[in-house]
Amino acid sequence: MTAREALHTYFGYDDFRPLQSEIIDSVLSGRDTLALMPTGGGKSICFQVPTLVMANDSPERRLCLVITPLIALMKDQVENLQARGIHSAAVYTGMSYDKQRTALDNCLFGPYHFLYCSPERLESEEFRKRLADLPIGLIAVDEAHCISQWGYDFRPSYLNIAAVRELLPDVPVLALTATATPETIEDIQDKLGFRARNVLRKSFHRENLQYIVRRTDNKAEQVAHILAKVPGSAIVYVRNRKRAQELAEWLKTQGESADYYHAGLMTKERNDRQEAWKEGQTRVIIATNAFGMGIDKADVRLVIHYDLPNTLESYYQEAGRAGRDGKTAYAVLLYNEAEDKAKAKKRIVDNYPSKEFVEQVYHKTMDFLQIGAGSGLGHRFMLHMDQLCHVMHLPVLQAYSALHILTQAGYIDFEEEHETQPRVQIHVPRHQLGEYNLSFEQAELMDVLMRSYTGIYTNLQYVREADRRETHELLVSLAQRGIITYIPRSVGCCLTMTNERQTEIYLSPSIYEERQALYINKLRAMVEYADQTQFCREQVLLAYFGETDAVACGHCDVCRDIARRIIAE
């Protein structure tokens, strides 16, 4: 089977998009490959097609290990592949041990072609041993910029990929990213142990996307004005959850079809709101940067940034979610010079508090969790940040940042948006339930729980039934009567001890000073992009990503102003 035949047979397309064919040929030749493709460029096809070709030609290389940090994207891609008759599995944090084992057994013994996992899974020695036995023919690393210290979203867990390459020395790797500077490109290849330099890139130029910076003293009014002028589906990015909700509610009062989205919502709420927007039932989604990864919606006409992003990488990626259908679309950045510059300076302090403060947060968190010196290794805790900061008198934003710095330094693993599954324990024996005069629905639910979950009388058990609102309400009513203990699904922070508690901590220059300097430089580049009015917006963006020979786009706000001035003269 050729690559083109696989593309048509499994995905229904007759031809590849630009660069896809070259990437696939490189992978099939066994070469380590770094592919740079803008958002919406069709990255998944670049590992899906060669895997299916290899599986047809060589069953002992039938499986692709896909490493991605996005659980929602994993689930979405597995569902899409399964719908096409392509067997796929995913292993991620929160899955039971039995489900993980079943997924890996299916990949070993069944006709499976894709195994998705998060980089954190690679920390497990048992998981790595299982990988060594699997018929893996390709390792695909999505969001590959996360492995680089120069990347805008460095994640220490990505460094575990090097250990997997040692386990599978003859298996090629395909690294994929939509955003990478020249320094990041080199670092990705070094960290992934490329046997030879091999970078395939598509220009970051987007002919149909018009970049605009709109200066304003009233951003909310400007959002409403732009939405009235530009018809079609829209995303408005904001920096915090409160603003997302407030702006969405205000837009509704203006007659706009709007909703909000952030990582603090339950999975079902997020999925429902995302689906309503994708299907056109909601026109505008007001969201934090938790929204958009892996969403395939081609007809977005407008992306507005209410606040300055931290980096041009994240700005380009988020703006690039507009106009994937090739039709005219707009990326608008709202800018209040004095206010946004002041906020940018404050972000530096909030994101990189002093080393002394970071150490203070470490010890106060250990005290709060009652972890003694020399203990705690491997323990996992739900961490209520509001309570921690109140009890220990810590500023909230800086405390979050300190815990992320401690994660990068290897002392802890801090997950800011950890979702716990609903759990139930039954306290009343079956033969005594008749004394409680249960409703038909309550009795039926109790029967299901008792039959489905071994050990539910002795320990809290994760229960899938609680995903339905009606079931949730029944469980609440049973808990109120003391028949069960019910811990509902919740979203919060989770802290895992990757080391024993230390008496003192050390933050190396690479963890603190160098990354602080990198953060400041990237934020400065973002401010300069918004501030400048002399050079084409797209030229500035492309030069940042190493494309220094781009011509002026002719339709950004700067190009239009220059044209008007020339005509006026």
Question: DSSP 3-state assignment of 534?
Answer: coil
CA distances from residue 404 to 150, 343, 492, 495, 517 in whole angstroms, order as listed:
17, 20, 15, 10, 16
Averaged pLDDT of the chain: 91
pLDDT of the residue at 133: 92
pLDDT digits (tens, 9 = 90+) for 25-59: 999 999 999 999 877 678 899 999 999 999 988 87
Q: pTM for the full model?
A: 0.81
No. of helices (H) and no. of strands (E), the chain:
21, 19
Least-confidence region, from 90-104, 219-233, 502-516, 525-539: 90-104
Mind listing the pLDDT tens digit for each residue in 475-508?
Answer: 999 999 999 999 887 667 889 998 999 999 999 9
The closest alpha carbon to 479, from 394, 559, 422, belongs to 422
pLDDT (mean) for 95-103 = 82
State pLDDT tens for residues 382-436: 898 999 999 999 999 999 999 999 998 989 989 876 667 788 999 999 999 989 9
- Is the pLDDT at 556 greater than 90? The verdict is yes
Rounded Cα–Cα distance for residues 178 and 70 (Å): 15
Among 217-226, 245-254, 270-279, 289-298, the minimum mean pLDDT is found in 289-298
**Strand spans (E) along 88-154:** 88-91, 114-117, 136-141
Residues 6+ apart with CB under 8 A from 92: 71, 74, 116, 117, 118, 121
**Rg of the chain over CA atoms, in angstroms?**
25
What backbone phi and psi angles, to 5 degrees, belong to 305? Answer: -105, 110
In the predicted model, is pLDDT for residue 267 greater than 80? no
Asked if 21 and 50 count as a contact pair (C-beta separation under 8 A), the reply is no
**Residues sharing a CB contact under 8 Å with residue 42, sequence separation 6 or more, in sequence order:** 17, 20
- The pLDDT of 238-248, averaged and rounded, is 95
Per-position DSSP letters for 374-438, written without gaps between them: T--TT-EEEE-HHHHHHHHT--HHHHHHHHHHHHHTTSEEEEEEEEEPPEEEE-S-GGGGGGG--
Q: Which tens digit of pLDDT belongs to each residue from 435-471?
A: 999 999 999 999 999 998 888 998 888 887 666 778 8
What average pLDDT does this structure show over 304-329? Answer: 94
What pLDDT score was predicted for residue 48? 96
Q: What is the pLDDT of residues 137-179, one digit of tens each?
A: 999 999 999 998 777 678 888 888 988 999 999 999 999 998 8
Token pair belonging to 58: 């060589």
Q: Length of the chain in residues, anyone?
A: 569
Cα–Cα dist 79/64, whole Å: 16
The confidence score (pLDDT) of residue 69 equals 82
- Which DSSP symbol is given to 281? S
Is residue 327 pLDDT above 80, yes or no?
Answer: yes
CA-CA-CA-CA dihedral for 295, 299, 301, 305, to nearest 10? 0
For residue 97, pLDDT beyond 90: no
